[in-house]
Amino acid sequence: MTSTHHTPVDVSHVKPREKAELLAQALPYIRKYHGKTMVIKYGGNAMTDPALQQDFAEDVVLLKLVGINPVVVHGGGPQIETLLQRLGKKGQFIQGMRVTDAETMEVVEWVLAGEVQQDIVGLINAAGGKAVGLTGRDGAMIRAQKLRLADQKDPNLEHDVGQVGDIVSIDPSVVKALQDDAFIPVVSPIGFGENNESYNINADVVAAKLATVLQAEKLLMLTNIPGVLDKAGQLLTELTPRRIDELVEDGTISGGMLPKIAGALDAAKSGVNAVHIIDGRVPHALLLEVLGNEPFGTMIRSH
């Protein structure tokens, strides 16, 4: 990921009155979300395309400036894969979870807490914000234990996925302290166990759990698709728990989408007011979602 400056969108052709109307339309949303927390799971193309990276950084800074508290949680699957390949290791997945031995865990920490996190922090700072990078170790935020992964078909069968963590608890006090101080927290999904061992945790799961403990107003998950699609490739604008069960059952929701949807549903059931899976390939996707009234992506409902 490299940070490149692209020229701002040219709005010189937009008449002043239209600009004013656009801002006026955003006003109710700014008022509604002022002082509220939004957890944003940052992933997919928005994370690897330089122009979209810039858009994302600008959106996060703008949200902070209008009094909304964004918290960014990021993944880094493709970047981890690239480094593993360079080291001659083949990534292995079981039910959407990366099998993580000790060597892979080292790579995961280098990539997530080093390269990727610092790139995002740099992008946000370059766009005029004040971002601070955190892992689950900072402020003893994410306590984890080894994930026991039951087989989808046979619940009596358990897969060993190595140093992949299941969240035991999240202490959000470090995030709250930073938020109150005008900083934008950027969280890498790494937790620690009772013997100080590191755990690789699915970023969607961390984002969902963090949104719950922070009592966030919204959880926004950026992906590489328009939202959740049905078998025919049509966008499902909202999903209920029952519909989700049906889609998992018939295989429409599978692989990496499984932990994403499970986390989203969990957050919705735990009191996060709005949970949306949105298309990170759309320029300024975040602002369109937060400050617009167009339905965007897939909304996960709690019932």
Binding site residue list for substrate: 76-77, 98, 200
**How many degrees, rounded to 5, is the angle at CA 97 between CA 270 and CA 143?**
55
Q: How far is residue 185's CA from residue 176's CA, in Å, rounded to a whole number?
A: 9
- Beta-carbon contacts of 232 under 8 Å, excluding residues fewer than 6 positions away, are none
The length of the chain, given as a count of residues:
303
Q: Check if the beta carbon of residue 207 is closer than 8 Å to that of residue 219.
A: yes
Q: Which residue in 60, 74, 61, 46 sits closest to 223, CA to CA?
A: 46
Which run of H or E residues covers position 266? helix 257-269
d(CA 253, CA 250) in angstroms, rounded, equals 8
Binding-site positions: 76-77, 98, 200
Q: What is the rounded distance in angstroms from the CA atom of residue 55 to the CA atom of residue 270?
A: 30
Side chain identity, residue 201: I
Beta partners for residue 142, in sequence order: 170
Q: Which residues contact 155 (CB under 8 A, 6 or more apart)?
A: none
Beta strands per DSSP E along 193-297: 198-200, 218-223, 238-239, 274-279
Between the CA of residue 114 and those of 17, 20, 111, 266, what are the distances in Å? 45, 41, 5, 29
